[in-house]
Amino acid sequence: MKKFLAMMLALAMVASLAACSSSSSSSDTTAAETEAATEAAETEGTDETEAADSTTGDGELITVGFAQVGHESDWRTASTQSCQDVFCEANGYELVFVDCDQDSAAQLDAVRNFIEQDVDYVIIDPIVSTGWDTVLTECEEAGIPVIVIDRTIDDSDNYTAWVGSDFTAEGYAAGEWLNAYAEAKGIEISGILVIEGTTGSSAQLGRTEGFQEIADNYGWTILDSQDGDFTEAGGQEVMESYCQSYSGQFNVVICQNDNEAFGAMTAMDAAGITYGVDGDVILISFDACTAGLEYVQAGSINADFECNPLAAPFVAEIIESLEAGEEVESTVYMTEHWYVAEEDVLTSITVNGEEQELTYVTDEIVEAQY
Ligand code: GYE
C-alpha cells in the first residue's frame, strides 16, 4: 500500500508548537516545517510528544476520533499514550478515544460513531487489513478525512494519509540477522518456531512474509507458526504447546512482539529450556519497547527488531497541514533500529543488498526508550 497522492483542504489557520505539558508558544506552521517533520519521521523516528497547537482563531478545538486496536501490548500502551499526549486540549484538540479491544466489528462501529458525532478527523489503527472499503466511503461522504496509523489497510486507498512501519522489512531484517548470527557463532539452525501476531493484521502479515522469504532462501525449516494474538498470555500458551510437540527439535523461537516473547520465556522456563545469549534457543522479538530492551540487555532475548509506536506527532503535523490547506505526504515511514544483546558478534547486517546497522543495548538506550 503506497499512495503518493497529496490532498488539500481549504481551511487556513494559525498554529503553534506546544506539547500538552508545556505552555503554548505561537508560531506559524509552514509547509517546510511539515516537510521537515516528515523527513524526521523517515530518518530519525520520533521520541517526542511535541505537536502543533491547533487552536483555531475562534478558539474552537479540533475533534479527532481515534479507533485504537486495543490494549494488548506494551507497544499499544505507548501508542495510546502518545496519541493522548498529542491530541489534548492544550494542543487545541478534543480526542474521542475508543479502545476496540482487538474486535474488528467494534472498530467499524467506533468509526461509524465518529461519523455520527461529526468529528473533524478520524484516526484508525486497523486491527485487520481488510473490510474497510464501505466505512471509508462513509467517511468520505461525510467529508471527514481519515488518517491511518501503524497497521495498513490493504483493500482500499480511500484515506488521506498513513503513518507507520514497514513490517515486511522488519521480517527481512530478523531473517538476515539470524543467518549472520548463526554463521558467526557456528550454530546450525535445527528448527524454527514462530509465534505470530493477530491473524490478518498487517503487522502479522508483513513480519511473517518477510521472515518466510529469508527462511526459504536459506532452506530453513519452520516447524510451526501459530497465532499468539500479540499478547503475553497468547505467547505463553502457544509456547507451552510447542514445548510439548517439538521437544528437542528446535533452536530458534521468533515472537512477533515483545509481549509474546515474555510469555514464551515463561513457558520455556517451566519446560527447562534455556534461551538467549547463554541458552540453547535463539530468541528473536519485535517492538523493542522498554521491557523488551531490558530482556535484550540481560541477554534473554538475542535480538529485538524495533517498531516505533510514536506516530501521533506526525499525524498532528498532517492535520495542521490539512487545516492550513497545504499538501500532505500521504505515506510516512517511521524509522526503526535493530537491537542486539551482544556487542562483539555483529555490528551490521545486509538486507536486500543494503547494509543496516545493529544497535547494542546499553543503559542509555533502555532509559530513552518508550
Ligand atoms: O507489534 C504489537 C501490537 O501493530 C505494530 O501491535 C503493531 C503491533 C505490535 O500489539 O505489539
Tens-digit pLDDT profile for residues 114-149: 999 999 999 999 999 999 999 999 999 999 999 999
Helices and strands, number each (H, E), in the chain: 11, 17
User: Is the Cβ–Cβ distance between 126 and 152 less than 8 Å?
Assistant: yes
pLDDT at 15: 31
Is the predicted pLDDT of residue 92 greater than 80, yes or no?
yes
Atom of ligand 1 nearest to the CA of 287: 1
In this structure, which long-range contacts are made by residues 155-158, counting pairs with CB atoms below 8 Å and at least 24 apart in sequence? 155/129, 155/130, 155/131, 156/132, 157/1, 157/3, 158/133
168 Cα: distance to centroid of ligand 1 (angstroms): 13
Give Dmax (Cα) for the chain.
Answer: 68
113 Cα: distance to centroid of ligand 1 (angstroms): 25
Is the predicted pLDDT of residue 58 greater than 50, yes or no?
yes
pLDDT at 309: 98
The rounded distance, in Å, linking the Cα atoms of 96 and 80 is 12
Q: What is the mean pLDDT of residues 161-182?
A: 98
Is the predicted pLDDT of residue 51 greater than 70, yes or no?
no
Please state the pTM of the whole predicted model: 0.87
In this predicted structure, which of 12-16, 78-82, 98-102, 131-135 has the lowest mean pLDDT? Answer: 12-16
Is the predicted pLDDT of residue 364 greater than 50, yes or no?
yes
C-alpha cell at 220: 530453513
Q: Is 7 left (phi over 0), alpha (psi -120 to 50) or beta?
A: beta
User: Is the Cβ–Cβ distance between 225 and 197 less than 8 Å?
Assistant: no
pLDDT at 55: 56
- Report the 10 Å Cβ neighbour count for 15: 26
Q: What is the mean pLDDT of residues 336-350?
A: 98
User: Is the Cβ–Cβ distance between 284 and 254 less than 8 Å?
Assistant: yes
pLDDT > 70 in the chain, percent:
84
Is the predicted pLDDT of residue 109 greater than 60, yes or no?
yes
DSSP character string of 92-160: TEEEEEEE-TT-HHHHHHHHHHHHHHT-SEEEE--SSSSS-HHHHHHHHHTT--EEEESS--SS---SS
Question: Please, which pLDDT band fits residue 59 given cuts at 50, 70 and 90?
Answer: confident
Residues with a CB atom less than 6 Å from ligand 1: 72-73, 75-76, 150-151, 203, 230, 257, 286-287, 307
Is the predicted pLDDT of residue 349 greater than 90, yes or no?
yes
Question: Please, which pLDDT band fits residue 159 given cuts at 50, 70 and 90?
Answer: very high
Burial 30-60 (b: 16+ CB within 10 A, else e): eeebbbebbebbeeebbeebbbbbbbeeeee
Is the predicted pLDDT of residue 46 greater than 70, yes or no?
no
Segment (H or E) for 25: strand 25-26
Question: Please, which pLDDT band fits residue 240 given cuts at 50, 70 and 90?
Answer: very high
- Mean pLDDT of the residues in the chain: 88
Question: Please, which pLDDT band fits residue 249 given cuts at 50, 70 and 90?
Answer: very high
346 Cα: distance to centroid of ligand 1 (angstroms): 27
Question: Please, which pLDDT band fits residue 350 given cuts at 50, 70 and 90?
Answer: very high
The rounded distance, in Å, linking the Cα atoms of 221 and 210 is 15
pLDDT at 347: 98
Mutate to test the pocket of ligand 1, among 287, 305, 336 (most ligand atoms within 8 A of CB): 287
pLDDT at 53: 56
pLDDT tens digits, 271-326 = 999 999 999 999 999 999 999 999 999 999 999 999 999 999 999 999 999 999 99
pLDDT at 183: 98
Question: Please, which pLDDT band fits residue 57 given cuts at 50, 70 and 90?
Answer: low
Residue 12 CA, distance from chain mean position: 32
pLDDT at 34: 35
Is the predicted pLDDT of residue 252 greater than 60, yes or no?
yes
- Please, how many CA atoms are within 13 Å of residue 12, restricted to the half-sphere of its CB? 2
Q: Give residue 26's identity as a one-letter amino acid code.
A: S
